[in-house]
Structure 1
Amino acid sequence: MMTFGIMTLSMDSENSYIDEIARRAQSCEMECFRFLPSKIDPHSLQVQGKRFDPIGLQWIESEFTIPDIIYDRCFYGDDEHSKQCIPIVSWLKSRNDITFLGYGLPNKLELYDALKSSILAPYLPPSQPVTNCGIVLKELKTKNKLILKPINGSQGYGIYYVKKNEKTYHVKTEKQKNIISRIFPNEAKLIQWLQTLINQHKYMLQPYLELSNDELQPFDIRLLLQKNEQGSWVERGRGIRKGNTGGLLSNLSAGGSVINFASWATTLSSTKYDYICNELEYIITNLPNVLEKEFMPLFELGVDIGIAKNGSIWILDVNSKPGRKVLFHTQPDITETLYQAPLLYGKYISLSGIQERKRYYEKTLSH
């Protein structure tokens, strides 16, 4: 029987989602396991983890060989365990006897550099690395407002809005669902804060885009794309995420809420609705192919699309390990499809005998 492994950095990560996948494994003629990369013995290649018992419908502590197919749901931080696991996952991805559903994407800046020469370049906010404070000050002189993003960030963590006033500087962020605002009285104080920030993490800057609705709530469109059981890219669904009034983030982890795309669309004129749908279709049709030509094979993508007040449409983020909360909330009728999708695509890979292309230089660790 084919073995299907779900790999995480914690055995408490995404339990409900992983449990539902495991419950459906036997119907796809698969045996399901879950494990941590750090629990692989490099000598025996045995793994200490858990095997799903399809009769008792529970996880059982078990020792097993590395599964044939791996679904990577590792989310790395700056902690020691993440640093320990990154080279292990890199090693796993280099092995020809193991197939990953998807091999991930690089950091936001590398992703931008790859996409800016593609047909999707017009949808990308101009981005550049923040290697020193002078870069930020120079941009503020011409633009007055900008956004700072960690290149390895996720869920909106560590994003800052910076505005230059006549004599002062205004910095705003969101932490633990609260908006935190600070005024720096002069350039020297701003530089002191900036230097600390960029010493801790690698950052990029982008122009500030007016992406809020009429209630001054930041909002965006979340699209979920996946490969189906024939190996073809399909859109699973889309929803609208709204953040706190006056805030920066629409992420649910930052206190955002969701509404059904169709319900939101009723507030648009037919002309605007057609324009937005045509633009989304163009992005959806081209983005997966562009990414897979540039990087390694993928299974799923979460794509965040912003619509500015002037009508311009922007690709805000592309995530190769997306969540599903937006669709679970707005399209509960597709939950069964979402739980089955990793198994069915894994089965397709195995039965079709496809040896997905791999590159032995690793660009995919940040996600």
Structure 2
Amino acid sequence: MITFGIMTLSMDSENSYIDEIARHAQSCEMECFRFIPTSINPHSLQVQGKRFDPIGLQWVDSEFAIPTILYDRCFYGDDEHSKQCIPIVSWLKSRNDITFLGYGLPNKLDLYETLKNSVLSAYLPPSQLVSNCSIVLKELAIKKKLILKPINGSQGYGIYYIKKNEKTYHVKTEKQKNIISRIFPNETKLIQWLQTLIKQHKYLLQPYLELSNDELQPFDIRILLQKDEHGSWVERGKGIRKGNTGGILSNLSAGGSVIDFPSWSQTLPTAKYDYICYELEYIITNLPNLLEKEFMPLFELGVDIGVAKNGSIWILDVNSKPGRKVLFQTQPELKETLYQAPLLYGKYLSQTDLKERKRYYEKTLSH
């Protein structure tokens, strides 16, 4: 029987989703395990984790060999535990006897540098690394409004909106579902704050795009793409994420809400709806293949698309470890499909000769 392992940084992470995958494992002729990367014994290569008991329908403590198919759901932070896990996962990715469903994507800057020379370049907000404060001040003098994003960020954490007024500077962010706003009286005070910020993390600078609806709520389109049981990319579904009025984020973790795509599309003029659908189809048809030409194989992608007030379409983010809340809330009939998808693709991988696939992509071992 195929051994299917799910890796997380905590045994309390994504429990409902992982439990449902495990319940479907036996029907896919798989035995399901879950563990934390640091629970691998480097000498015996045995893992202390949990095995799903398909009879009792529960997880039981177990020691087992590293599963042959791995689903990586590790979300890294700046904490010590993350720093311990990253090299272990990179080591696992280098092993020829283990296959990951997906090998992840690099940071936002590397992703931008790759896609800006592709057929999707027109959909990318111009981005540059913030190496010093003068870059931010120069762009503010021209554009008046900017967005700063951490290059390794996810779920909207650490994103800042900066606006240059006549004499003052307005900075806004969202933390724990609250909008936090601050006025700096002059350039000197802004520089002091910026210097502290960019010492802590690497940031990207982008122009501020008017991506809010008529109620001044930031919104975007979240599309979930996955590979099916034949290894082909398919769109599982899409929905609309709306943020707080006056906010800068539509992320659900920042207090956003969702509406289904058909309901939202009914509010649009027919010509605009047709145009948006055409653009979305062009993006999702090209994006996965472009990424897999440059980076290691992927299993799923969460693609966030912004629609500006002037009608322009923007790729805001591409995530190789997407959540499913948008689809669970707007298309609950997809739940069974989404629970089985990792297992069916894992089964496909186990029946495919992957040596050439792995060798071709070994130039990148991104976490």
| Aligned partners of 1:70 and 1:98 also within 8 Å | yes
Supply the distance in 1 between the matched residues of 2:330 and 2:116 (Cα, whole angstroms).
32
Q: Any idea what SS the aligned residue of 1:212 has?
A: coil
- Match in the other structure for 2:366: 364
Deviation by residue 1:287-344 (Cα, 9 ceiling, x = unmatched): 0000000100000000000000000000000000000000000000110000000000
Query: Would you say 1:331 and 2:344 are equivalent positions?
Result: no
Equivalence map 1:127-138=2 (5 Å): 127-138=127-138
Deviation by residue 1:246-269 (Cα, 9 ceiling, x = unmatched): 000000110000000000000011
Q: Any idea what SS the aligned residue of 1:316 has?
A: strand
What is the letter of the counterpart of residue 175 of structure 2?
A: K
Deviation at 1:189, TM superposition (A): 0.2
**Structure 1: which 5+ residue stretches go unaligned?**
none
- Match in the other structure for 1:219: 219
Equivalence map 1:309-348=2 (5 Å): 309-348=309-348
- Match in the other structure for 2:282: 282
Query: Would you say 1:140 and 2:140 are equivalent positions?
Result: yes
Supply the distance in 2 between the matched residues of 1:123 and 1:78 (Cα, whole angstroms).
30
- What's the C-alpha RMSD, in Å, of the aligned pairs? 0.8
| Aligned partners of 1:105 and 1:295 also within 8 Å | yes
Equivalence map 1:108-187=2 (5 Å): 108-187=108-187
Equivalence map 1:266-277=2 (5 Å): 266-277=266-277
Deviation at 1:43, TM superposition (A): 1.1
What is the letter of the counterpart of residue 63 of structure 1?
A: E
| Aligned partners of 1:105 and 1:363 also within 8 Å | no
Supply the distance in 2 between the matched residues of 1:357 and 1:47 (Cα, whole angstroms).
24
Equivalence map 1:1-367=2 (5 Å): 1-355=1-355, 356-358=357-359, 359-365=361-367
What is the letter of the counterpart of residue 268 of structure 1?
A: L
Supply the distance in 2 between the matched residues of 1:360 and 1:351 (Cα, whole angstroms).
21
What is the letter of the counterpart of residue 134 of structure 1?
A: S
Supply the distance in 2 between the matched residues of 1:337 and 1:296 (Cα, whole angstroms).
25
| Aligned partners of 1:150 and 1:203 also within 8 Å | yes
What is the letter of the counterpart of residue 130 of structure 1?
A: V
**Structure 2: which 5+ residue stretches go unaligned?**
none
| Aligned partners of 1:90 and 1:362 also within 8 Å | no
Deviation by residue 1:33-76 (Cα, 9 ceiling, x = unmatched): 00000000111110000000000000000000000000000000
Deviation at 1:362, TM superposition (A): 4.3
Supply the distance in 1 between the matched residues of 2:125 and 2:190 (Cα, whole angstroms).
24
Number of residue pairs matched?
Answer: 365
After superposing on structure 2, the runs of 4+ consecutive aligned residues of structure 1 that deviate more than 3 Å are 358-363
What is the letter of the counterpart of residue 117 of structure 2?
A: S
TM-score (norm 2): 0.98
| Aligned partners of 1:39 and 1:49 also within 8 Å | yes
Deviation by residue 1:208-236 (Cα, 9 ceiling, x = unmatched): 00000000000000000000000000000
Deviation at 1:363, TM superposition (A): 4.7
Supply the distance in 2 between the matched residues of 1:168 and 1:263 (Cα, whole angstroms).
41
| Aligned partners of 1:67 and 1:98 also within 8 Å | yes
